[in-house]
Each structure stands twice: as C-alpha cells, then as structure tokens.
Amino acid sequence: HNPRLNEKLARLEGFSNLHPLQSEEHSQGALELIYQLTDWLKKLSGLPGVTLDPAAGAHGELTGMMMIRKAHEAKGNPRKVVLVPDSAHGTNPATAATCKYTIVTIKTGEDGMVDMDDFNHAIQTHGEDIAAFMLTNPSTCGLFEPNVKVIADTLHSIGAYFYCDGANFNAIVGKVKPGDIGVGVMQINLHKTFSTPHGGGGPGSGPVMVAEELVPYLPIPYVEQKEDGTF
C-alpha cells in the first residue's frame, strides 16, 4: 500500500523513540516537521486552520463534525440534521450519528453526481435545522462534483457548513483548493495523499483543515513558530 522507503523513514529512531513528554528544547526537529506539514496543508487546501491530532481519517471526520457542532452551539442552535449523499463512505453517516445528528440521505443521479432536485428539496424541508452537508469530492464514484460551488453557496445561505471528506484529495491536490470553493471543514487521509504508513497500528494521521470561522474550535495544543525561530 505504501512505498517501503516511507515505512523505513517512519521507523527512524528520532520518530519512533521520541517520548511524548520530551521537552520542547529537545524536540525542535519534530516540532519543525509538524509546523512545516501544517503550513503545506494550509497552502494546499486554502484553509487557514489545521489540527494534526486525529489518528485516522474517520477520527478526523469525528473531530471536524464535533467542531461544527460546537460552532452551532455557540450560536445558540446546535441544529439537528446532517445531509449525506448515498454514495458516501459509511463513516460519514456514522460520524454524524455519533455527534447526535439525524441523517438525511441525498440521492445520487444516474450520472453519479448529487441529485440537485433531492438536495434542494432537503434544503427546503429542513432549512436552518441543517448543520452540514458531508460530501466526498471527488466522490466515491471517482467524479468531481460540478455543482460543488452551488452546493456550498446554498449551504452558506442557511448558515450550514460544507464538510468535504478529503479521502480522494490526492486526485485534485495542487489543482483545486477546497477553501476556494466554499469548503468549511475537510479531513485528509495522508496515507493516500502523502503516502504515509497506514494500518498495522500506525502511525496514522487524519489532519483536519477548517475555515477561519472554525479556527477557535480547533483542538489544542498546536505548533506555532516563535519570533526567535524556535517552535
């Protein structure tokens, strides 16, 4: 699944034997790598907030949806519904249900795209009860959703968030920045996009990128660079 070289690099003593309670002074190399990775992810996604805390893609989904719920709660309305296409990976509805949302399934048309009539019907029916729409883009069908900007604008008009499952981000990385098309939250599966080791107990990684509005809800701590260049 991954190049053996990447597996060997992940097993370097500086990575594999770094103690979690090691002092910042003696962890500068690792902290710099973490900082550089977050910077790359911000540039590639067009989203200003990043957390590397999640240990897998599904864990990233849960983290993202928990941030969405917290943001809605802060506005005084946690909302009740999450829209999920019937072509979505099973972890999407499972994640939303774990966050105590009701799942409304959106049909896929014969062309493999989101059925916009069904989507618009759900918007009209549930309105401001909708917390988010979880769309894998490119989809599980291997297609880039042509109505993605219309979908995003519609969600924003009712105060809902566009959650993009980034499992297939490797297909568009460097070509499309999700932040530019209205994505508010997105997880990336780095074992696909950057070919990091996957399975067998780890190391796993499912970073989550968020729009400016959700930055206050990112898990802490995260790495920042000080004026003296240290981390």
Is 0.75 topped by the overall pTM? Answer: yes
pLDDT, tens digit, 9 for 90 and up, residues 19-36: 889 899 999 998 999 999
User: In terms of DSSP H, where are the helices of the chain?
Assistant: 4-10, 13-16, 28-45, 57-74, 91-98, 116-126, 148-157, 190-193
Q: Please tell me the predicted confidence (pLDDT) of residue 10.
A: 79
Q: Please tell me the predicted confidence (pLDDT) of residue 201.
A: 52
Q: What does the buried/exposed string (b/e) look like for 147-169 if buried means 16 or more CB atoms within 10 Å of the residue's CB?
A: ebeebbebbeeeebbbbbbbbbb
- Under the banding of pLDDT at 50, 70 and 90, the label for residue 202 is low
Q: Is the pLDDT of residue 203 over 70?
A: no
pLDDT, tens digit, 9 for 90 and up, residues 39-84: 999 999 999 999 999 988 889 999 999 999 999 999 999 899 999 9
Nearest to 184 by CA among 36, 59, 69: 69
Q: Which residue in the block uniquely carries the two structure tokens 């880039």? A: 144
Inter-CA distances, 160 with 72, 122, 163, Å: 9, 13, 9
Q: For residue 211, what are its two tokens?
A: 């729009």
Q: Greater confidence, 185 or 17? A: 185
Provide mean pLDDT across the span 103-120: 95
Local structure of residue 165 (DSSP, 8 states): E
Nearest to 211 by CA among 47, 32, 21, 19: 47
- Under the banding of pLDDT at 50, 70 and 90, the label for residue 200 is low
Q: Please tell me the predicted confidence (pLDDT) of residue 157.
A: 97
Q: Please tell me the predicted confidence (pLDDT) of residue 190.
A: 84
Which regions of 167-225 does DSSP assign to beta strands (E)? 185-188, 208-210
Provide mean pLDDT across the span 153-178: 94
Q: Which residue in the block uniquely carries the two structure tokens 């550089």? A: 36
What angle, 0 to 180 degrees and rounded to 10, lies between the N-to-C axes of helices 91-98 and 57-74?
40
